């Protein structure tokens, strides 16, 4: 009866969605803590956290936009030059079904788009494997680019720390010294971040969780950001001296 009413697939998708959310929340809390001390206020110590998901969800958004634009361009080319699917060159790029042209049915674009559903994924495991590998690789590449272009590199982080009048105990107060320390963690965490969020997003799409893999990542990221904002507001309200020390007042 559950199969006939569709309740079991819905329960399965809901369970997978909750599991992905819990995994993401757990991973969001993993970080490397680098001790820092203030050079302006003696005795003030803190930590500089570098999250495991260092690049956040921006690379996934960029990878999803790239895939969506590629499919859109493929649809335009198909409608103009290959609507009968009889052009060998364009068949290699993409094929579409005239009755449902939203999703590729062949070509390169077929393998770089998600099957969207466990049944479709198991029906064509080669497509599923290629999609997961491709999407994860693209997200990892965008993660590396985002670190350099988004001001998250070790050099920028070292400059920000020194500008905030803090230093790392045991290291000289110079950008080169602090940058060398951060380079032990940031490049590796950048790659790990890209691989983790790429795998989570692509596998979530394959399993057809509620929303999408990118949507789940965005939701969790926003929830964590709001939580961190609330914590900062509590510090500003109940510990104004600490807030002033941190430069928020």
Q: What is the pLDDT of residues 192-221, one digit of tens each?
A: 999 999 998 888 888 777 767 777 777 777
Could you tell me which of 195, 194, 190, 196 has the C-alpha nearest to residue 148? Answer: 190
- pLDDT category at 246 given cuts 50, 70, 90 is very low
Percent of the chain with pLDDT over 70: 85
Q: Do the beta carbons of residue 60 and residue 214 sit within 8 Å?
A: yes
pLDDT digits (tens, 9 = 90+) for 99-113: 777 788 888 888 888
Look at residue 129 in the predicted model and tell me its pLDDT. Answer: 92
Look at residue 102 in the predicted model and tell me its pLDDT. Answer: 78
Look at residue 40 in the predicted model and tell me its pLDDT. Answer: 73
Look at residue 245 in the predicted model and tell me its pLDDT. Answer: 46
Could you tell me which of 50, 31, 43 has the C-alpha nearest to residue 245? Answer: 43
Report helix, strand or coil for 184. Answer: coil
φ and ψ of 171, to 5 deg: -125, 145
- pLDDT category at 6 given cuts 50, 70, 90 is very low
Report the predicted TM-score, pTM, of the whole model to 2 decimal places. 0.80
φ and ψ of 49, to 5 deg: -85, 135
pLDDT digits (tens, 9 = 90+) for 111-163: 888 887 777 888 888 999 999 999 999 999 999 999 988 888 888 888 888 88
């Amino acid at each position: 009866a559950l199969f006939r009413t569709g309740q079991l697939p819905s329960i399965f998708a809901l369970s997978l969605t909750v599991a992905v959310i819990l995994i993401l929340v757990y991973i969001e809390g993993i970080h490397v803590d680098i001790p820092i001390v203030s050079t302006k206020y003696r005795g003030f110590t803190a930590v500089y956290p570098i999250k495991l998901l260092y690049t956040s969800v921006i690379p996934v958004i960029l990878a999803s936009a790239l895939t969506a634009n590629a499919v859109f361009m493929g649809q335009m080319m198909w409608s103009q030059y290959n609507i009968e699917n009889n052009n060998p060159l364009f068949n290699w790029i993409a094929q579409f079904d005239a009755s449902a042209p939203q999703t590729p049915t062949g070509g390169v674009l077929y393998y770089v788009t998600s099957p969207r559903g466990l049944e479709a994924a198991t029906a064509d495991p080669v497509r599923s494997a290629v999609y997961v590998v491709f999407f994860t690789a693209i997200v990892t590449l965008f993660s590396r680019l985002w670190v350099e272009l988004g001001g998250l590199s070790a050099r920028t982080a070292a400059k920000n720390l020194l500008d905030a009048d803090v230093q790392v105990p045991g290291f000289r107060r110079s950008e080169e010294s602090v940058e060398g320390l951060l380079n032990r963690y940031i490049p590796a965490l950048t790659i790990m971040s890209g691989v983790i969020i790429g795998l989570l997003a692509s596998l979530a799409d394959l399993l057809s969780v509620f929303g999408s893999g990118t949507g789940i990542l965005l939701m969790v990221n926003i929830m964590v950001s709001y939580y961190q904002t609330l914590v900062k507001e509590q510090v500003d309200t109940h510990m104004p001296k600490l807030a002033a020390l941190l430069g928020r007042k």
